Structure 1
Amino acid sequence: MTDLWNLSAPWWHFVIRGVAIYVLVTVLMRVSGKRAMGQFTPFDMILLILIGNAVQNGINGGDNSLTGAVIMAGTLIGLNLAVAWGSARWRDFRWLVEGRAVLLAEHGRLDHRMLRRELVSEEDFLNAMRLTGCSDIADVRRATLETNGHITIELERPARQR
């Protein structure tokens, strides 16, 4: 029963491990691109589960105590709150963590190079247009890939009534 609470390493090892893995996974997700996070497919769910499993030992170092779990969970929640706090207060920090919105189309002209760079298929773009009620690229004033991976479309004129 005492093994349930006894740490296998000093408490600060768990904090350092938690910070290191949090930063690593954040960087990996940031590198994966906005679109990967905005379009959550079954494959993305599998990837998240596998990443969680892959980094588990990196965080806990083989420790299975409840004390270690509480320290790691507290560290991760604290880091998440710190990132949210920093993002809300400093624009440059938010851009570093979340990235910037990207212009995909303007005044009826689609930027194919930007679509490729941001890993957005033309089908995904056309789907976003349809969801906005737009059937013709000429009606698009601006199309922006937001930092959350969603495509926002502003129309030159209101969508036609059906």
Structure 2
Amino acid sequence: MYLDIVIKIVVGLLALMTVIRILGKKELAQLTPYDVIYTLVLGGILEESIFDEKVKISHFLLAITTWALLIFLIEKATKKWDPIRVLLKGEPVKLISDGKLDMKKFNKNHLEMEQLRSALRKQGVFSLREVKDLFLEPGGDLTINKYIQYEPIKNGDFPTKATDQDPTVLLIDEGVVKEDILTYIGKDKKWLLTKLSEQGFTDIKKIAYCEWSETEGLFVRSY
């Protein structure tokens, strides 16, 4: 019994190392949902098999070998045929193009505005006005192309004047006014409607995104 457990653990470790080798040298953030499924299922097979005396070593070897072979074939197929790669691995989705939001793609990928703002802040972007193009990668990461005026200063660039910017708050999220945020910043809906009308927006339902900061004012994107 004890020998079987030891053998299963050793075989399981070797199988896990093989799967990781097949998947290639990726960081955790680069793993696609299917890569995670591969390792989770393998871990489940290992966990269920180690302490179950009814599962013989031969059965365990067959399961591990079959699973590793399937992963290998799928990885080869995704490299050889693009349609299969797109189906299983996914492809980058362009959510923002030249500053314009594609709300159909936002909704298709179940991405909420607050989720987006949180992900942007982690990359040092505190306003959507900085973003020219935005891609959602297959692994769930965001890739950002900023407008040139918001890019970091490089050698040879000498700005004439630099000012601090206040953090932004989300006032309208897909046609819905965030009343609690308005209260938080000491404003009301009447103030918001006035500011929107000054920019030519009269129907809140047609606004996909609206943020505000003390230094920059309103930034609005319609559907």
- Give the TM-score band, short-chain normalised: 0.5 to 0.7
In terms of fraction of residues, the more strand-rich structure is 2
Partners of 1:151 and 1:74 lie apart in 2 by 36
Q: Which structure has the bigger radius of gyration?
A: 2
Q: Does 1:64 align with 2:55?
A: yes
Q: Does 1:78 align with 2:69?
A: yes
> Alignment identity in percent?
22
Conserved? CA contact 1:134–1:159, under 8 Å = no
Residue 131 (structure 2) aligned to one of 113, 118, 140 = 140
Give the number of the structure whose residues are more often helix, by fraction.
Answer: 1
Q: Which residue number corresponds to residue 11 of structure 1? A: none
Q: Find the aligned partners of 1:110 and 1:102 in 2 and give their Cα distance.
A: 12
Letter in 2 for 1:82: L
Counterparts of 1:31-42 in structure 2, within 5 Å, are 37=33
Q: How many residues align?
A: 112
Structure 2 residue matching 1:125: 3-state secondary structure: helix
Alpha-carbon deviation of 1:160?
A: 4.5
Task: Flag the structure with more relative contact order, 1 or 2, with Cα contacts below 8 A and sequence separation at least 6.
Answer: 1
Q: Does 1:105 align with 2:99?
A: no
Local SS of the residue matching 1:143: strand
Q: Which residue matches 1:126?
A: 117
Deviations along 1:44-68, whole A, 9 cap, x unmatched?
A: xxxx69xx59xx7xxxxxx611111
Q: Does structure 2 conserve the Cα–Cα contact (< 8 Å) formed by 1:133 and 1:159? A: no
Moved >4 Å (runs of 4+): none
Query: TM-score scaled to structure 1, two decimals?
Result: 0.56
Q: Bigger shift: 142-151 or 67-76?
A: 142-151
Q: Which runs of 5+ in 1 are unaligned?
A: 5-35, 41-47, 57-62
Is the aligned partner of 1:159 residue 2:145?
A: no
Task: State the partner residue of 2:87.
Answer: 96
The letter for the 1-side match of 2:71 is N
**TM-score of the superposition, structure 2-length normalised?**
0.42
Q: Distance in 2 between matches of 1:118 and 1:147?
A: 11
Cα distance in 1, alignment partners of residues 127 and 135 from structure 2:
16
- Matching of residues 42-53 of structure 1 within 5 Å: 52=44
